[in-house]
Each structure stands twice: as C-alpha cells, then as structure tokens.
Amino acid sequence: MNIKNFVRKEVFDLTIREYAPKDDSNGKKADLSLNINPYGVSKNVLEALKKMDKSKINHYYPENHELMGEISLYLNIPKENIIIGDGCDGCLHLIANTFIEAGDEVIIPTPTFHRYEFHTKLLGGVCKFIPMDNFELSAEKILNSVSDKTKIIFLCNPNNPTGMAIDPKIKEEIIKKFKGIVVVDEALADVTDVNGSLLLKKYDNLIVVRSFSKTFGLASLRIGYIVAHTDIANQIKKTTSPFQVNGIAQELALIALKDKEHIKLSKEYIQENRKKLINGLELLGLKCTPSLTSNFLVDISPLHSNSKELVNELKNNGIYVTDASIFRLPKDTYIRVAISNEKENSLFMEEMRKLTSELRK
Ligand SMILES: Cc1ncc(COP(=O)(O)O)c(C=O)c1O
C-alpha cells in the first residue's frame, strides 16, 4: 500500500514533532522550558481532587454551567458567549475547523506560538507570516497584508515567546479595520491586565481564546475556553463534540478560578522571579524582552552565534531552555526562558554566569 495515495495531502506534508523526548530526564537539574505556573497548583484544587466524587468519572456530557458562570464573572461577559474546550489548543482547533477552508489565507505576525500555523495548514489554509518590527506589532503592516482571501488574523496577546503585550490601540485598529475574523490568543494573559473580551461589545469579528494551563496551573488537565460574539459562538458550538472536555478538568478549573489568593500569589511570584532573572541576565550583557508574563526572549548574540548550540550546551549541564528558532525569529540567537521555581532559576543563572566567563575568555 502506498500510504501517500490515501492520506490527505495536508497531513502528508506535515512532519511528526517530538514534544517530550523520552530520554529527557537524565541529569536534569532545572527546566526553564515548560512555560507553566512556577508557583504551582492551588491547594484547593489538590484538596478537591482527593475528595472528588468517583461517580463523576463514570459519566457523559459533563457540561459545567457553574464554570461558565464563573468565567462570565471573571471576564465580565455573558455566559452565552463562552465555549469550553480541551485546552486553548483544542479551542484553536475548533475555530480553525469552523472557518478555514483550503486556499484561505491567515495572517500570523511573527515571532509567535507555532500552533496557529499547524491548525491552518491541517485544513489546507495558507499562512502569511508578517515579521514584527522589534517585537512590536504594526497595524498598518498587518492590514496592508490582507488580501481578498484573508479569513483570519491570529494575534497572541501577550505574545509567546516575548511575553510582551500588544498596544491596545493597535489591537483595536486591526479588529476595527479588518473585515474578517481576529483571533486573540490570551493563554498568557491571566498574570496581566489584558482582557480582550471587553471589546466584544463593540466588534462582532473578534474571538478570544484563554487557557487554564498557565496561571491556573492545570496544563495536563487540558482545559481552556473561547469567548466570541454570539453569531460566531453559535457557529463554533455546532462543531464541538459532547464528549470533548473532561468533567474532572471542568470541576477543578472552577475551583482554580475561584481561588483568588492563589491567582494573586502566582502573579507576585512570577513578577518577582521574572525581575530577578532579567536583571541577572542583563548584568551579563544579555538583552531580554520586556515581558509581562512567565516567559521572555534572551538575545544571546554577545555570548554565542547559535541558539541551538547554546541550548545543547546548557542541556548537557542539566539546564533546559527553549531554542527560540521554532518561533520564526529573524536571527538564530534567541533562547526562550520560562520562569521556574527559585531554586531552578538560580541553577540556570549559575550556569549562564559560568558559560559567560568561559566563552569570553
Ligand atoms: C500562547 C499560547 N497559546 C496556547 C497555548 C496552549 O495552551 P493550552 O495548554 O491551553 O492548550 C500555549 C501553550 O504554551 C501558549 O503559549
């Protein structure tokens, strides 16, 4: 059998990517590649998990209206505009599946999160990558790239990998002037004041996606949500599966969202540790992006000419960071650092100091 004759072309053209290599834990001392909540999971969530009513596992259709109500209060938007999905990534899949047809164009400002490209290509869509200038978005540049085939503009706010937020005026100008759909990925927004959902009152072409994986610390439970204008939400709802989102994840997301103290302490922990790391790296002469979140970019060019090689050197010493070339950057000298706990952050800094003094000898 020649598999190529059976598989969809879009699938054939993709490559398998290994996200969690099996041999990875050997000698690992610090992992600053994960981009999760370094403060950890809310104690209330862990308690609830222990006490969870076992009958809930043996159940279908776990639609949790209390969770939707709590999200509606959290973002100050009506419940009807919310769709729960299996992670922000699952939400991106629902959106792409609802709107993207073969040959449609989407605009993706770069550098950014790689999954917009994946979901677009899987459906035969075409990605137009628009490089940002100095990591800042230009409404003019984005809007000038629109053609009559452009269906979606994906914006990541705050952006992964830079951690920088989009200027609200620039974001609004794009939503206002673009005749298609603007998807704003706010997976990293909960540690900031960013709340794009408030614009839903003014614009009917906006979709916001959010996650419980980051500030709420529930990454492996796979839960996130879409917030969209009723006309859009009603179309996406048709594509959802009644079996998609697990009930335990919804129960625990509700508890995480209600634990305001955990959210506050997580924000403080991230702010404090980000400041320490960035100060430390800048003292070594390395420029970092002015992040508002738990991740940021470091330009390693004073130290090394290739991010992949530096990442491997660090890995050989048990320190894990991300080679930022996966984010479509203009040069190969960036690493992405995602804040870990204080102990691991110090081990990373220790290694960076060592490398700096060795490489500058
Ligand atoms: C910007 C951004 N969007 C979405 C996701 C995926 O989030 P989730 O775990 O909710 O699927 C990530 C994960 O790293 C991310 O950084």
Q: What is the pLDDT along the chain (361 residues), one digit of tens a residue?
A: 999 999 999 999 999 887 766 666 668 899 999 999 999 999 999 999 999 988 888 888 878 899 999 999 999 999 999 999 999 999 999 999 999 999 999 999 999 999 999 999 999 999 999 999 999 999 999 999 999 999 999 999 999 999 999 999 999 999 999 999 999 999 999 999 999 999 999 999 999 999 999 999 999 999 999 999 999 999 999 999 988 899 999 999 999 999 999 999 999 999 999 999 999 999 999 999 999 999 999 999 999 999 999 999 999 999 999 999 999 999 999 999 999 999 999 999 999 999 988 876 6
Our mutation pick for probing the ligand 1 site, out of 188, 220, 221, 257, counting the most ligand atoms within 8 A of Cβ, is: 188
Residue nearest to atom 7 of ligand 1 (CA): 88
Q: In what order do the strands lie in the sheet with 181-185?
A: 82-85, 224-228, 206-211, 181-185, 150-156, 105-110, 126-131
* Residue 112 to residue 131: CA distance in whole angstroms: 10
Q: Does domain 43-260 have CATH number 3.40.190.10?
A: no
Q: What is the pTM of this model?
A: 0.96
Domain parsing of the chain, residue ranges = 3-40+261-359, 43-260
Ligand 1 atom 14, closest CA: 35
Q: Cβ-count burial of 114 within 10 angstroms (0-12 exposed, 13-18 middle, 19+ buried)?
A: middle
Fold of the CATH domain 3-40+261-359: Aspartate Aminotransferase, domain 1 (3.90.1150)
Is there a common fold for 3-40+261-359 and 43-260?
A: no
Contacts of 157 (CB under 8 A, 6+ apart): 165, 166, 171, 184, 185, 186, 189, 194, 196
Residue spans of beta strands (DSSP E) within 112-195: 126-131, 150-156, 181-185
**Strand runs labelled E in 121-275:** 126-131, 150-156, 181-185, 206-211, 224-228
Pocket of ligand 1 (CB under 6 A): 35, 87-89, 113, 156, 160, 185, 187-188, 211, 213, 219, 224
Both tokens of 359, joined, read 């490489």
Work out which ligand 1 atom sits closest to the CA atom of 156.
Answer: 1
Burial of 203 from C-beta contacts in 10 A (0-12 / 13-18 / 19+)? middle
Is there a contact between 359 and 332 (Cβ–Cβ < 8 Å)? no
Q: Which of 95, 157, 214 is the pocket-test mutation for ligand 1 (most atoms within 8 Å of CB)?
A: 214
- Which residue spans within 17-125 are E strands per DSSP? 30-31, 82-85, 105-110
Report which protein residue has its CA nearest ligand 1's atom 2.
187
Distance from the alpha carbon of residue 273 to the mean position of ligand 1, in angstroms: 21
Cross-sheet strand order for the sheet of 295-299? 287-288, 295-299, 334-338, 322-323
In the beta sheet, which residues pair with residue 110?
131
Terminal Cα distance for the chain, rounded: 58
Ligand 1 mean position, distance from CA 89 (Å): 6
Radius of gyration of the chain (CA): 21
Q: How far is the CA of 5 from the centre of ligand 1 (A)?
A: 34
